[in-house]
């Protein structure tokens, strides 16, 4: 009996062990199969991608070729329209132009670049035809793709007849200049400077002044322009360019000289740095109203301009003012408190009035301490009497010895 029980137990144990081994084997097989399926799927996807990528490249090449073919036909048709060798009627020409225009309007920037190259490569294209194309450039392409056209015109100006001088046969309007005009007319200064940023430094220098012409006709416009110019100046070259235009922005007007109140208000609201003030006041003596020179001299004494620059500005202002109204300068000198700017004015005044009032000039020189201002006036007087036929050689030499100007 016991023996039977043992035998049954052994048989059951062996059966269980065999079942477990079979279960483990099945599990391992499943895992292996799953891994194979995964690898197969990866290979399938990879195999599928490779032809698709190659297919995409092929499709792109085909599209490029089709675009070039379409553009070449358009350039040829446009040239034929302009030559009109078939003697088409006015109605037929108008219809052809509408067809050309609709096809031009479909071009994207890359196709526009291709079209301009194709059209300009036609041997018999003359300046009148190029002018006709530029009409479409201005009225279609620029209005649709202003930023892209800015970069395109800057990189290939010859395709748009942009030169330093107009073509001899017919003056062609500059399309980049039109771009600046268009942006300003749209009251979109940020767009104008975005277009300039896309252009070369040569174009930036050439065309930034157009924004002043088209947008700087009101105090508000000039204030907006100044802020946009500041934001535009992101490189040392652009900063130098902008600073060179600040004086024009503040003082230059096509019709009349600006008033002291207008410019000083703008200067105050703009909160200019010392460097910007130096740039803003460059050549100001040629730009301000002579009758307001005294106000500008008072203003100079209160600004943050470095003393040497401020004194030079005062000297230049006083020189011109004395030429126009020496009596007014004398009154200003008598009523103004001492300052570096007043010393510069006295120096300029003395040098200018000496030929007609030597005694008065020397009195003002005596008010100046030994130093650059005094020496500047004396040197100017010395050079003047050397050329003046009323002074003999002995008198000139005596003046030089007296004032330490012996050469």
Q: What is the mean pLDDT of each run of 10 residues along the chain (407 residues)?
A: 44 42 49 49 46 72 89 94 82 90 94 96 91 92 97 95 62 87 96 97 95 88 92 94 91 79 88 90 93 96 91 97 96 95 96 92 92 91 83 82 76
pLDDT value, residue 38: 53
User: Would you give the DSSP letter of residue 407?
Assistant: -
Indicate if 97 and 177 belong to the same structural domain.
yes
pLDDT value, residue 32: 46
Answer for the pair 351, 318: CB distance below 8 angstroms, yes or no: no
Domain boundary among 288, 308, 331: 288
Q: What are phi and psi of 125, to 5 degrees?
A: -70, 125
Indicate if 70 and 157 belong to the same structural domain.
yes
Indicate if 79 and 185 belong to the same structural domain.
yes
How far is residue 381's CA from residue 348's CA, in Å, rounded to a whole number?
10
Answer for the pair 281, 313: CB distance below 8 angstroms, yes or no: yes
pLDDT value, residue 285: 94
SS3 content of the chain, % helix, strand, coil (to 5): 80, 0, 20
pLDDT value, residue 60: 80
Distances (CA, A) of 63 to 59, 67, 158, 276, 314: 6, 6, 27, 52, 67
How far is residue 216's CA from residue 210's CA, in Å, rounded to a whole number?
9
Distances (CA, A) of 77 to 115, 129, 133, 159, 163: 12, 13, 13, 18, 27
Indicate if 70 and 159 belong to the same structural domain.
yes
**Inside any domain, residue 205:** no
pLDDT value, residue 49: 47
How far is residue 161's CA from residue 141's CA, in Å, rounded to a whole number?
15
**Inside any domain, residue 202:** no
**Inside any domain, residue 310:** no
Indicate if 76 and 118 belong to the same structural domain.
yes
How far is residue 208's CA from residue 180's CA, in Å, rounded to a whole number?
8
Indicate if 121 and 82 belong to the same structural domain.
yes
Question: Quick one: tokens of 123?
Answer: 């041997």
Least Cα distance to 119 among 163, 72, 156 occurs for 72
Indicate if 181 and 73 belong to the same structural domain.
yes
Tally Cβ neighbours within 10 Å of residue 77.
14
**Inside any domain, residue 196:** no
Domain boundary among 225, 253, 288: 288
Indicate if 88 and 185 belong to the same structural domain.
yes
Indicate if 150 and 230 belong to the same structural domain.
no
**Inside any domain, residue 158:** yes
Task: Give the domain range for residue 149.
Answer: 65-163+173-189
Answer for the pair 129, 82: CB distance below 8 angstroms, yes or no: yes
Domain boundary among 288, 314, 332: 288
Q: How many Å from the N-terminal Cα to the C-terminal Cα in the chain?
A: 148
H/E segment holding residue 106: none
Tally Cβ neighbours within 10 Å of residue 47.
10
pLDDT value, residue 13: 39
**Inside any domain, residue 19:** no
Q: How many domains does the chain have?
A: 2
**Inside any domain, residue 127:** yes
Indicate if 181 and 237 belong to the same structural domain.
no
pLDDT value, residue 24: 47
**Inside any domain, residue 358:** no
Residue with tokens 């740039």: 279
pLDDT value, residue 230: 93
pLDDT value, residue 255: 64
With a CB cutoff of 8 Å and minimum separation 6, the contacts of 374 are 347, 365, 368
């Amino acid at each position: 009996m016991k023996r039977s029980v043992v035998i049954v137990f052994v048989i059951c144990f062996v059966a269980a062990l065999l079942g477990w081994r079979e279960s483990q084997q099945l599990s391992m097989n499943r895992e292996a199969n799953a891994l194979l399926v995964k690898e197969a799927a990866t290979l399938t996807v990879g195999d599928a991608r490779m032809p698709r990528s190659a297919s995409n490249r092929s499709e792109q090449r085909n599209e490029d070729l089709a675009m070039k073919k379409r553009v070449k036909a358009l350039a040829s048709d446009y040239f034929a329209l302009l030559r009109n060798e078939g003697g088409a009627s006015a109605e037929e020409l108008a219809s052809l132009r509408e067809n050309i225009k609709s096809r031009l309007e479909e071009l994207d920037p890359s196709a526009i670049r291709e079209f301009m190259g194709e059209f300009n490569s036609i041997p018999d294209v003359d300046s009148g035809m190029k002018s006709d194309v530029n009409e479409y450039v201005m009225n279609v392409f620029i209005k649709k793709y202003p930023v892209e056209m800015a970069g395109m015109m800057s990189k290939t100006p010859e395709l748009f007849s942009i030169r330093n001088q107009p073509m001899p046969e017919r003056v062609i309007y500059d399309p980049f200049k039109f771009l600046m005009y268009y942006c300003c007319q749209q009251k979109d200064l940020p767009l104008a400077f975005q277009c300039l940023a896309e252009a070369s430094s040569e174009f930036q220098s050439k065309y930034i002044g157009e924004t002043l012409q088209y947008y700087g006709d009101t105090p508000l416009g000039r204030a907006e322009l100044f802020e946009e110019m500041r934001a535009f100046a992101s490189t040392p070259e652009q900063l130098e360019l902008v600073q060179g235009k600040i004086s024009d922005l503040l003082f230059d007007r096509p019709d009349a000289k600006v008033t002291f109140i207008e410019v000083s208000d703008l200067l105050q609201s703009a909160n200019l740095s010392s460097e910007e003030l130096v740039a803003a006041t460059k050549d100001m003596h040629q730009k301000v109203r002579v009758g307001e020179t005294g106000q500008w001299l008072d203003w100079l004494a209160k600004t943050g301009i470095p003393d040497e620059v401020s004194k030079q500005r005062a000297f230049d202002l006083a020189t011109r003012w004395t030429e126009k109204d020496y009596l007014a300068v004398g009154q200003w000198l008598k009523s103004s408190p001492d300052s570096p700017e007043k010393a510069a004015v006295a120096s300029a005044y003395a040098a200018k009035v000496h030929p007609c009032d030597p005694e008065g000039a020397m009195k003002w020189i005596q008010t100046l301490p030994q130093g650059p201002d005094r020496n500047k006036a004396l040197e100017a007087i010395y050079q003047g009497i050397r050329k003046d036929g009323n002074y003999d050689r002995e008198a000139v030499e005596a003046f030089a010895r007296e004032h330490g100007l012996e050469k």
